[in-house]
Amino acid sequence: MARYTLDDLARLVDHTNLHADATEADMKKLCDEAKQYHFKMVAINQTQSAFCAAQLAGTDIDTGAAIAFPLGQTTIAAKVFETKNALAEGANEIDYVVNITQVKEGNWDYVKDEMTQIVAVCHEAGVPCKVIFENCYLTEDEKLGLCRVASEVKPDYVKTSTGFGTGGATVADVKLMRANVPAEVQVKAAGGIRTADDFLAMVSAGATRIGCSAGIPIIEEIKQRMAAAGVDALDL
């Protein structure tokens, strides 16, 4: 159990807009909101990296580029190039989607090679790498297989979902992932997290990042609850 102030909770939020039709005005709004609420990161499509990095220059808010998003169905070489390009454009966090076909085939050598190469690029640049499992398409054995690979490669985070699949984060998946990767590999919950109760349940289950587009109403609701209870922190 850990103690969280309202700012601590806001710093768990990866403030997200990954819509294909997002405009430059939408991206500016996302970055302005992240600054206002002191979120940890903006989660954006890779092509928005330079614009968002410029908007967030001089702040402690990161620009998080999504790689091979949302399907994960590009080659390792393509993912590595996209990662390097995002970093060159100003991104300073990376969330990439695993090759789900190779997971389904049980081709763990491929999955490990992919993870190793992308994590190496990120760590050479000194930026965090998050590996998106997309759990809605996976069996429990496949989730555990990805956890085993992540335990060897040690990305900074394993992540439940893109938010664009047939399902999003669940408390059960967060608990499973937390229990099956080492402590230095953190867990990010994303996909379908829309209420304060959802958010707090994911944190209580072991998530240390929450990817969502509803960060503002969530933090506002938690703020109101804390004020009503006369407390300045929550134990989760």
Catalytic residue among 95, 156, 173, 198: 95
Q: Which residues pair with 13 in a beta bridge?
A: 210
Measured between alpha carbons, how far is 114 from 199 in angstroms, rounded to an integer? 30
Catalytic residue among 40, 156, 159, 173: 159
- Mean of per-residue pLDDT scores for the chain: 98
Pairing status of strand 186-190 against strand 3-4: unpaired
- Known catalytic residue at 84: no
% of the chain with per-residue pLDDT over 70: 100
- Known catalytic residue at 95: yes
- Known catalytic residue at 29: no
Q: Is the pTM of this model over 0.95?
A: yes
Measured between alpha carbons, how far is 198 from 215 in angstroms, rounded to an integer? 11
Per-residue pLDDT tens for 60-106? Answer: 999 999 999 999 999 999 999 999 999 999 999 999 999 999 999 99
Catalytic residue among 40, 79, 143, 188: 188
